[in-house]
Structure 1
Amino acid sequence: MARRWEAHELGGPDTWSLVDHEPADPGPGQVTIEVRAAGMNPADAKHVSPGTDPGRLPVAIGYEVAGVLTAVGPGTVIASGAASVGDEVLAFRISGGYSSAVTVAASDVLAKPASLGFAEAANLLLAGSTAADMLRAARVGRGDTVLLHGASGAVGVSVLQQARLLGAAVVGTASPGRFDVVERFGGVPVAHGDGLEQRVRAAAPRIDAALDAVGTDEAIDVSLAVVADRGRIVTIAAKQRAQREGFAALAGSDPESARFRDSVRGRLAELAGSGDLVVPVARTYPLDQAPTAVAELMGGHPGGKLALVP
């Protein structure tokens, strides 16, 4: 019998339940995955936190996994092509990833690069596609200099690497204790806090675009001060400020973003497989320790991605 984490009421991970759950046999267009690692993202907890829609309950937790195919529905191919039982895969934008096994739409499943570990693969696509979407929306290209707020977080680290591949330079905000992460992935670190605007201007004579992954007033105020074109300011964390002040706020549920993020999955997997896109993993936890792992994740700076290992 498989197990998975479910939310039966709105609240934090201490209210979730680890329940027995037998995945359905896959029909046409579906596959069953034995989960070797479940990726962890702040959205896992935020989407069942107090104030969200209780009509969605119960909710199976987790949006991305990596594992091994144990069953393939009749006439089914996955997003990256043909698939067979025993193939190593990753899946993104699914429901119920905090599980030991899950049956999902084959269109959400791709072959896992052989060079990529399960924990890395399980954490690749949500952060990676979000980063790619931010760069797209801000029209970042070769020769640009980008201000990135939250450069040492999961999305920020992916932005740093993808921006470098585009030929763009990045000035990234972080705490001084995380400057090494920003520098490792090609960014110029600046400390957030009082005087940020002056430090940004000292780090780069021109800022063409700003990407915000933290949502603080400081991040938005400085972005508005240093970027002339508000069409090149993008946030994933300050929707209300974006609406008031006329810049873009992105979410994976928006149709345009969803289509784009789906379209780049294969490319991100290729980049990770070739070593051009690294997914730093800080640590893994057993599946039954999900509440402890989520508490660390939501606590701030775990030092890299976390994964649950059934």
Structure 2
Amino acid sequence: MPKAYVFTRYGGPETEALVERDRPSPGPGQVLVAVRAAGVNPVDWKQRTGYRRPGGPERELPAVFGNEVAGVVEEIGAEVTGFAVGDEVFGNPVAGGYAEYALLPVAVTAHKPAELSFTDAAALPVAAATAYDGIRQLGLPAGATVLITGAGGGVGVSASQIARAFGLRVVGVASESKKDFVESLGAVHVPSGPDLAERVRAAAPDGVDAVFDLVGGEVLEAAATLPAEPAKVITGADRETVAKLGGSGVERARTAAVLDAVANLAVDGKLRPFVTRTFPLDRAGEALRTVEDGHARGKIVIEVRA
């Protein structure tokens, strides 16, 4: 039977297990994909603790981990057009992607360009798509300056590159150990820590036009003092705090068109997924710990099939 990595109840790592599950069947508007690779994101372990988006559905337990995959179409559901068995695709699964098979809704599934590996494609649907939505949401003109907190993480790495592709100047906040990495993205590095606002002002003497926060809490509060317009502060990490500051959360489009856009940026060399480490499915727990412990640089991907 096909294998999948699941959490059996809400809680910590002790709830995780590699199990065998029936191969799923696609419903209307869905495709069944033989997963080649699955991206690992902070939201994965947060969902294990019981987190869910406001208004989102309650997960049926045991629940498969994972929110982004790349693979090959094995079966087509009713009312599906534009996809065929054998197509190489990537997107957001219906209910988990750390598995040998996953169901994908065609609304958030895109054809994988031949120039893009399955591993790199699996790193795009969450982090890169979130970054793309956020940069587009800010609506800054070319030449403007955007401050990105958490610039060394999965979304931050993509946001820095996409901002640069849009002609923006980027100031990236990250730990001192990630300085060279952040600067390799074309960003001006500012080390995280106390007195953040003062260091950003020194690094960007002409000012900051917008903030794309990926950390939340005190870091977000400090960064939010920098733009002239509170509405130009968005976050992918702390909606409660940003609302008090006059900003907003990242508005996710969740469309195949966004997936096409980030894939094209990757093919054009303007967006590198920066997959820094891969794990096989039977070591999915190690992959998740790498992200949950906060030490990941770039993207972590589970390679399910060669």
Q: Same fold (TM over 0.5)?
A: yes
Say if 1:234 and 1:261 are closer, same or farther in 2 by CA, change over 3 A.
Answer: farther
Shift of 1:238: 2.0
Equivalent residue for 2:49?
A: 49
TM-score (norm 1): 0.89
2:24–2:101 contact (8 Å) kept in structure 1: no
- Picking from 55, 58, 65, the partner of 1:61 is 65
TM-score, normalization by structure 2: 0.90
Contact 2:108-2:259 at 8 Å conserved across structures: no
2:294 to 286, 300, 303: 300
Letter in 1 for 2:212: L
Equivalent position amino acid for 2:208 in 1? I
Match of 2:246 in 1: 246
Deviation at 1:27, TM superposition (A): 4.6
Q: How does 1:169-248 map to 2 (within 5 A)?
A: 169-204=169-204, 205-217=206-218, 219-248=219-248
Asked whether the equivalents of residues 224 and 245 of structure 2 are also in contact (C-alpha less than 8 Å), the reply is: no
- How far apart in 2 are the matches of 1:130 and 1:18? 28
Q: Do the aligned residues in 1 keep the contact of 2:70 with 2:90 (CA within 8 Å)?
A: yes
Q: Which runs of 5+ in 1 are unaligned?
A: 251-256
Whichever residue aligns with residue 23 of structure 2, its letter is P
1:272 aligns with 2:266: yes
Identity %: 38
Contact in 2 for aligned 1:113/1:272 (Cα 8 Å): no
Instruction: Give structure 2 stretches of 5+ with no counterpart.
Output: none
Give the letter for the 1:113 counterpart: P
Q: What secondary structure is seen at the aligned counterpart in 2 of 1:177?
A: helix
Greater mean alpha carbon deviation, residues 21-30 or residues 142-151? 21-30
Q: CA deviation at 1:54?
A: 10
Deviation at 1:99, TM superposition (A): 0.2
Output aligned runs, 1:105-144, within 5 Å: 105-144=105-144
CA distance in 1 between counterparts of 2:126 and 2:57 reads 24
1:181 Cα deviation after fit = 1.4
Offset, 1:300: 1.3
- Equivalences, count: 299
CA deviation profile, 1:95-148 (whole Å, cap 9, x unmatched): 220101123323332111112121111111211121122223322221211111
Q: Cα distance, 1:33 vs. partner?
A: 0.9
Instruction: Determine the C-alpha separation between the residues in 2 that align with 1:29 and 1:119.
Output: 25
Between 24-33 and 5-14, report the one with greater CA deviation.
24-33
Question: What is the CA–CA distance in structure 2 between the aligned matches of 1:49 and 1:209, rounded to whole Å?
Answer: 32
The aligned amino acid for 1:44 is: D
| 8 A contact 2:154–2:297 mirrored in 1 | no
CA distance in 1, matches of 2:212, 2:79: 42
